[in-house]
């Protein structure tokens, strides 16, 4: 189905260099994993938005495929960014455990915070591979298959560093884990391959924030993969912030495996990247598993943001809730692709899927495709999608009460966005989002309606 664009050779020298030099490459299993991923990538290539490729129907990755991104080995992660600048831009709280990754590698110097892991293991993936090889090996790549997704294969071929969170059975990370992936302006155009692995043991609790930030104006590419394993009775709270710079390419793939009675909650905020892809795949693999995914995407200028959310109800008595909202301005384009699959015999599945969009300019475009694939009969599944502009009557009402058009429209747009921000349960993060989302909200090109 996925037609290959044959531009994989560009990455070969970097791949060979990594396999030769990286210290983690000493692990045979990791070498094999990378080799396998590389052969898969060189076979799959990049997907094309050809007819019939439903997953990439509205997003062309030609610009990524035809650029020459490199992944140099000799950049020092500790000197790429300033600590003060980071704290100003990224979500940050000194009470959290903050892990900073610069150009794909862990920076001990920039990381910090007084947060306590409380029995859990929170470390860089490179460290974990060295010290907890067996544990990492058991879960790494288990759900992020390299067989059918070129970007996941590419990430795995360059697997080297990232974050590792392991919460043992019955434990909880008492403080929030904050993962900040930063790309700097050194050595352009570059690509980084952040990899995050979260293993939540039985009846454990964990909350983590994952943000992607760009500190440069030149084009770069982030190919990220996040794997979350939620074991029986566990609860995982996941916040994902996409704040790459306007020239950036970002392809992020998040895979969630859920065992019996586990709960997964996520809120995703996408503002950055010139071309961004935000993909979630949730597998509800046992009765009682439930997930709730919320998302807000804001696009302006010539941005293109693609959200692709798949939820697989593989077993009976599973539940999913999905609410994504988009605010589009300028000549930007946003895509929402939602898939709910209820497998045969997954009776009593309960799924809801909603996508709402607010278009603010004449030239913005939204392509929404919320699909349901149902193979069991005793289910409750529904989906809805809307697109439109601000309600003229509401605006008129507010203006008749003395608010000017800008203030009135600003209030309406904020209210539209706040529904998603309010799902964030972490107070410091909510305050942070309030600030940056509201700053990012467009107001300039609001249509001054005559008849409208």
Listed in sequence order, the residues at least 6 apart from 198 whose beta carbon sits closer than 8 Å to its beta carbon are 164, 165, 166, 206, 208, 226, 227, 228, 229, 236, 238
Listed in sequence order, the residues at least 6 apart from 35 whose beta carbon sits closer than 8 Å to its beta carbon are 19
Yes or no: say if 165 and 269 are a contact pair by the CB < 8 Å rule: no
The site map against another protein for 186-225 (x = CB under 8 A) is ----------------------------------------
Of the ranges 38-46, 302-310, 382-390, 427-435, which one interacts with another protein (CB under 8 A)? 382-390
Smallest distance from another protein to CB 63, Å: 21
Query: Residues 393, 394, 399, 400: is their CA dihedral positive or negative?
Result: positive
Cα 203 from Cα 387, distance rounded (Å): 40
CB closer to another protein, 37 vs 379: 379
Q: Which of 16, 73, 382, 425 binds another protein (CB under 8 A)?
A: 382
Smallest distance from another protein to CB 382, Å: 4
Q: Which of 68, 74, 362, 439 binds another protein (CB under 8 A)?
A: 362
Q: Does 406 bind another protein (CB under 8 A)?
A: no
Q: Does 447 bind another protein (CB under 8 A)?
A: yes
Q: Does 412 bind another protein (CB under 8 A)?
A: no
For residue 155, the tally of other CB atoms under 10 A from its CB is 29
Q: Which of 39, 118, 302, 386 binds another protein (CB under 8 A)?
A: 386
Of the ranges 101-109, 256-264, 317-325, 359-367, which one interacts with another protein (CB under 8 A)? 359-367
Q: Which of 117, 135, 387, 398 binds another protein (CB under 8 A)?
A: 387
Q: Does 330 bind another protein (CB under 8 A)?
A: no
Q: Does 422 bind another protein (CB under 8 A)?
A: no
Of the ranges 12-20, 166-174, 260-268, 361-369, which one interacts with another protein (CB under 8 A)? 361-369
Q: Report how many residues bind another protein under the rule CB under 8 A.
A: 40
Pairing of the two strands 121-124 and 191-192: unpaired
CB closer to another protein, 162 vs 370: 370
Q: Does 310 bind another protein (CB under 8 A)?
A: no
Q: Which of 118, 302, 371, 443 binds another protein (CB under 8 A)?
A: 371
Q: Does 130 bind another protein (CB under 8 A)?
A: no
CB closer to another protein, 102 vs 417: 417
Yes or no: say if 351 and 376 are a contact pair by the CB < 8 Å rule: no
What angle in degrees, to the nearest 10, is found between the helix axes of 12-21 and 28-44?
180
The site map against another protein for 264-303 (x = CB under 8 A) is ----------------------------------------
Q: Does 397 bind another protein (CB under 8 A)?
A: no
Cα 68 from Cα 406, distance rounded (Å): 43
Q: Does 452 bind another protein (CB under 8 A)?
A: yes
CB closer to another protein, 35 vs 392: 392
Q: Does 361 bind another protein (CB under 8 A)?
A: yes
Q: Which of 370, 421, 423, 433 binds another protein (CB under 8 A)?
A: 370
Q: What region, left, alpha or beta, does residue 203 occupy, with left being phi > 0 and alpha being psi -120 to 50 degrees?
A: left
Q: Does 365 bind another protein (CB under 8 A)?
A: yes
Instruction: Pick out residues in 36-95 that bind another protein (CB under 8 A).
Output: 51-52, 54
Q: Which of 388, 404, 425, 443 binds another protein (CB under 8 A)?
A: 388
Q: Which of 147, 378, 406, 422 binds another protein (CB under 8 A)?
A: 378
Q: What is the dihedral of CA 137, 142, 143, 145, to 10 degrees?
A: 110
Q: Does 241 bind another protein (CB under 8 A)?
A: no
Smallest distance from another protein to CB 329, Å: 9
Q: Which residues bind another protein (CB under 8 A)?
A: 51-52, 54, 344-345, 347, 357, 359-389, 447, 452
């Amino acid at each position: 189905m996925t037609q290959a664009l044959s531009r994989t050779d560009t990455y070969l020298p970097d791949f060979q260099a990594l396999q030769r030099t990286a210290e983690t490459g000493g692990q045979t299993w990791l070498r094999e994993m990378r080799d396998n991923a590389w052969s898969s990538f060189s076979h799959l290539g990049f997907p094309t938005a050809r007819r019939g490729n439903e997953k990439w129907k509205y997003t062309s990755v030609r610009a990524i495929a035809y650029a020459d991104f490199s992944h140099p080995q000799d950049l020092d992660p500790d000197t790429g960014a300033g600590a003060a600048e980071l704290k100003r831009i990224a979500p940050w709280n000194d009470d959290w455990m903050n892990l900073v990754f610069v150009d794909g590698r862990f920076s001990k110097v920039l990381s910090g915070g007084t947060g306590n892991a409380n029995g859990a293991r929170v470390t860089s993936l490179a460290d974990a591979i060295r010290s907890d090889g067996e544990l990492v090996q058991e879960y790494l790549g288990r759900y992020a298959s390299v067989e059918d997704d070129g970007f996941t294969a590419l990430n795995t071929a360059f697997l080297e560093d990232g974050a590792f969170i392991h919460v043992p059975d019955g434990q909880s990370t008492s403080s929030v884990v904050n993962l900040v992936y930063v790309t700097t302006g050194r050595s352009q155009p570059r690509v980084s391959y952040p990899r995050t692995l979260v293993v939540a043991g039985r009846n454990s609790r964990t909350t983590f924030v994952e943000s992607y930030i760009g500190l440069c104006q030149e084009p770069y590419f982030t190919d990220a993969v996040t794997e979350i394993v939620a074991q029986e009775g566990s609860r995982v709270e996941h916040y994902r912030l996409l704040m790459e710079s306007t020239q950036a390419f970002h392809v992020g793939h998040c895979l969630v495996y859920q065992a019996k009675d586990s709960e997964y909650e996520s809120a995703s905020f996408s503002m950055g990247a010139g071309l961004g892809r935000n993909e979630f795949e949730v597998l509800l693999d046992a009765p009682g598993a439930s997930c709730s995914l919320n998302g807000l995407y804001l696009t302006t200028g010539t941005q293109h943001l693609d959200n692709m959310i798949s939820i697989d109800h593989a077993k009976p008595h599973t539940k999913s809730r999905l609410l994504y909202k988009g605010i589009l301005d300028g000549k930007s384009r946003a895509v929402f692709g939602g898939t709910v699959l209820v497998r045969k015999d997954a009776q009593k599945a309960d799924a809801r899927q909603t996508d709402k969009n607010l278009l603010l300019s004449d030239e913005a475009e939204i392509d929404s495709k919320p699909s349901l694939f149902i193979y069991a009969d005793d289910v409750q599944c529904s989906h809805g999608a809307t697109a439109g502009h601000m309600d003229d009557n509401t605006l008129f009402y507010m203006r008749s009460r003395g608010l000017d058009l800008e203030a009135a429209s600003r209030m309406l747009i904020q209210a539209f966005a706040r529904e998603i921000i309010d799902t964030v349960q972490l107070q410091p993060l909510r305050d942070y989002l309030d600030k940056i989302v509201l700053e990012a909200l467009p107001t300039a090109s609001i249509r001054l309606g005559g008849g409208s």
